[in-house]
A = this chain, B = another copy of it.
Amino acid sequence: MVVNKKIISRFSQYRKALIRFQELGMVKVFSDTLAEAVGVTSAQVRKDFSLYGISGNKRGGYQINGLLDELQAILGKDKIQKVIVSGCGNIGRALIRYTGFEPERIQIVAGFDDDPSKQGRIDALPILPLDAMKDFVSRNRIQIGIIAVPDSAAQPVCDTMVAAGIRGILNFAPIRLKAPDEVVINNVYLQMELENVIYFVNALTKKPRR
């Protein structure tokens, strides 16, 4: 992968901050202001932008409107992104019902689960057996999938997704998935994130200063 994951995360955060600024009626912004809002240095902001050929005005900062357009395009916000979810247990169902995606133009269009008791519909969203994935994905030209199944099912589900034509996966199973290089995989390891917090809390309480 050529570009860094972190710069894209920052773009997401810049975007969020800019939307807030815009709502406050602001029209332009300095690298300094944006940096502060996101918690990075102003050099970082300017570097990031220049790396993507985004330029401002030498003394007037950046036009929020134009800047947002550029970021939207980079992040693929210019069109609605359709996503499927595999595994409709606790996490899967929460994601399906999660209201934070819609305003970001991310739309979950179907769930998949082989447990018949979960098939049918969740809030108007069809929940289908895994068998139906390939057909559904190609028919609707889906590129992105979320894996929210238990450990043991994660790799086979991943294989099914890849075979169905999915190009990018957000994985919640605490497993390192094997997939061809051209498939993008991003892992969200919940226990690990929590363990991280626990470690640092323990570390700080043990040696109070240092």
Contacts and interface: CB of A to CB of B under 8 A. Distances in A.
Contacts of A167: 201, 204-205
Interface string A69-105: 0000011100001010000001101110111110010
Given A90-B97, A94-B94, A169 B194 contact: no
B168 A200 contact: yes
Contact of A189 (B12, B75, B106, B194): B12
Copies of this chain assembled into the complex: 2
Given A94-B94, A176-B39, A201-B167, A191 B8 contact: no
Interface stretch (A111-119, A155-163, A180-188): A180-188
Give the bracket for the number of chain A residues in contact with chain B: 35 or more
A50 interface: no
A93 B90 CA distance: 8
Interface in A124-151: 143-144, 146, 150
A203 interface: yes
B168 A198 contact: yes
Contacts of A189: 9, 12
